[in-house]
């Protein structure tokens, strides 16, 4: 049975909050001026109170509002696929599964939190959301979610991705989202960046700064973030919660769980519900691997320190693995992984050796994506290819060692709007 499905009634009713089970405390975000821990009131200007409660809450399970759960029925539960053809191609004793989040209306896992954030903002009377996007997956998701719940949406898209992925831009506009290439002339910070460097290709840090400035200066507007923060990771755990049920139905359980890593949301989404078993002692040997690009290797190369989440230093200071708020990554196609920092929770898990991380070159990841596309019929997003490459490597390791292990990875999105990445790669591949 290569495809393991769930019924609509089996969509989870609660998100899982890993903060309730951590054997250590997460260092709190700090006010940049006073260096004291920030409180809910410090965040109220840019986030609705319900999301602030989720950001700091320690309840193990958080109810999913019925309106959000109904919206999830557009595409959830997503299928879990046993990649038998890939196993045969690799001639490995390993069993390889992937959770297919590319089936969402916008083609990625980002809609899981976009729907929740749009709903909570709508409930508190917010009229408009401002956000950033790297590759455009988050911008597409929030544009769709805002349209569904009757909100306006303003997206600051990293300029290099704005140029590389024109159809992402059109998709956002189709959902009534408004888009500006970041750095832009629409904000004070964007204008300052362009004055210093008119050819600046942008970064997520710059785009975040512009979106926050926009939110603060527009009445009825809040800010929405697509990764990094606790409440975002919380919403994404619907992925792993479904996968646990599906693995149970298949009579299996992963030895290794893999997700690509930028800010941490899709890795957390697939791995946290399984890490609950590792933290409780039920599955001590479970391995969770976050896979990032060498071009922006925050977990494997960054410092564990307090840093700003944006380039203009507008956010609170967060304790995380970071390459520095002013870091400018290379112009890789995996735009969603071009972030200088990592989620505070993911960072702490890595520092405490509960999870693993590895960095891969973009070309080797994309080559794995080509293999996957030819074998499984799904062209993966450039971000997802990093998880695919790590899964293949682990399966080949099983072959070399003659061991059978179960590998689960998150296919976070499809690459239908990323064909230029594959076009650029194919000129280097054997004919």
* Coil, strand or helix at 291: strand
Contact between 390 and 358 under an 8 Å Cβ cutoff? The reply is: yes
d(CA 285, CA 83): 23
Task: Give CA separation, 429 vs 220, 358, 370, 396, 418, in Å.
Answer: 51, 24, 10, 21, 17
Return the pLDDT at 337.
Answer: 76
Burial classification of residue 127, based on how many CB atoms lie within 10 Å of its CB (0-12 exposed, 13-18 middle, 19 or more buried): middle
Nearest to 101 by CA among 61, 63, 137: 137
Structure confidence at residue 419 as a pLDDT band (50, 70, 90): confident
* Cβ contacts of 266 within 8 Å, gap of 6 or more: 101, 109, 236, 239, 259, 260, 383, 410, 412
Structure confidence at residue 161 as a pLDDT band (50, 70, 90): confident
pLDDT greater than 80 at residue 330: no
pLDDT greater than 60 at residue 335: no
> Quick one: tokens of 362?
């973009």
Residue-averaged pLDDT of the chain: 94
pLDDT in tens, 259-296: 999 999 999 999 999 999 999 999 999 999 999 999 98
Return the pLDDT at 431.
Answer: 58
Contact between 416 and 378 under an 8 Å Cβ cutoff? The reply is: no
* Cβ contacts of 393 within 8 Å, gap of 6 or more: none
Return the pLDDT at 73.
Answer: 98
d(CA 106, CA 71): 13
d(CA 246, CA 234): 20
> Quick one: tokens of 56?
């700091």
Per CATH, 3-9+77-108+231-426 and 45-62+109-230 having the same topology is answered yes
Which architecture, in CATH terms, is 3-9+77-108+231-426?
Answer: 3-Layer(aba) Sandwich (3.40)
Q: What sections of 18-83 are H helices per DSSP?
A: 40-43, 49-56, 66-72
CATH 3.40.50.1100 fits 45-62+109-230, yes or no: yes
Domain spans of the chain, in order of start:
3-9+77-108+231-426, 45-62+109-230
In which order are the strands placed within the sheet that holds 152-158?
A: 178-182, 152-158, 128-133, 221-223
- Reported as type and span, the H/E element at residue 120 is helix 111-123
Burial classification of residue 73, based on how many CB atoms lie within 10 Å of its CB (0-12 exposed, 13-18 middle, 19 or more buried): exposed
Task: Give CA separation, 393 vs 16, 96, 292, 407, in Å.
Answer: 29, 11, 14, 11
CB burial string 30-63: b at 16+ within 10 A, e below: beeeeeeebeeeebeebbbebbbebbbeeeeebe
Instruction: Please tell me the number of Cα atoms within 13 Å of 19 on its side-chain side.
Output: 24
**Ramachandran angles phi, psi of 214, nearest 5°:** -60, -50
How many other C-beta atoms can be found within 10 angstroms of the C-beta atom of residue 379? 20
Structure confidence at residue 429 as a pLDDT band (50, 70, 90): low
pLDDT in tens, 239-250: 999 999 999 999
């Amino acid at each position: 049975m290569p495809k393991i499905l769930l019924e609509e009634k089996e969509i989870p009713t609660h998100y899982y909050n890993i903060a309730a089970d951590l054997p250590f405390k997460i260092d709190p975000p700090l006010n940049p001026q006073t260096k004291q821990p920030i409180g809910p009131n410090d965040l109220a200007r840019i986030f609705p109170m319900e999301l602030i409660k989720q950001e700091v809450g320690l309840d193990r399970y958080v109810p999913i509002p019925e309106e959000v759960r109904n919206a999830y029925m557009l595409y959830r539960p997503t299928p879990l696929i046993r990649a038998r053809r890939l196993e045969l191609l690799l001639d490995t004793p390993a069993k390889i599964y992937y959770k297919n989040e590319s089936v969402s209306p916008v083609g990625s896992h980002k809609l899981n939190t976009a729907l929740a954030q749009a709903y909570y903002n709508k409930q508190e009377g917010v009229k408009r959301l401002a956000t950033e996007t790297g590759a455009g997956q988050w911008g597409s998701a929030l544009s769709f979610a805002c349209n569904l719940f009757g909100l306006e949406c303003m997206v600051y898209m990293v300029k290099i991705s704005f140029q590389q992925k024109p159809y992402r831009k059109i998709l956002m506009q189709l959902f009534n989202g408004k888009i500006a290439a970041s750095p832009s002339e629409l904000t004070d910070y964007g204008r300052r960046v362009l004055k210093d460097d008119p050819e600046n290709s942008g970064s997520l840090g710059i785009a975040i700064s512009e979106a926050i400035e926009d939110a603060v200066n527009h009445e009825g507007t809040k800010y929405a973030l697509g990764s990094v923060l606790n409440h975002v990771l919380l919403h994404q755990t619907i992925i792993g919660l479904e996968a646990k049920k599906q693995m149970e139905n298949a009579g299996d359980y992963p030895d290794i769980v893999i997700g690509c890593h930028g800010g941490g949301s899709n890795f957390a989404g697939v791995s946290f519900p399984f890490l609950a078993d590792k933290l409780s002692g039920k599955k001590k040997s479970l391995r969770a691997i976050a896979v990032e690009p060498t071009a922006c290797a925050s977990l494997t190369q960054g410092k564990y320190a307090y840093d700003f989440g944006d380039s203009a230093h507008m956010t609170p200071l967060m304790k995380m693995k970071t390459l520095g708020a002013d870091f400018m990554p290379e112009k890789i196609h995996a735009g969603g992984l071009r972030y200088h920092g990592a989620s505070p929770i993911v960072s702490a898990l890595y520092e405490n050796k509960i999870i693993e991380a590895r960095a891969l070159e973009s070309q080797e990841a994309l080559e794995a994506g080509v293999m996957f596309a030819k074998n499984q019929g799904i062209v993966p997003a450039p971000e997802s290819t990093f998880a695919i490459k790590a899964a293949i490597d682990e399966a080949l390791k099983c072959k070399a060692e003659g061991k059978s292990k179960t590998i689960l990875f998150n296919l976070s999105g499809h690459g239908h709007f990323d064909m230029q990445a594959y076009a650029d790669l194919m000129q280097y591949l054997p004919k």
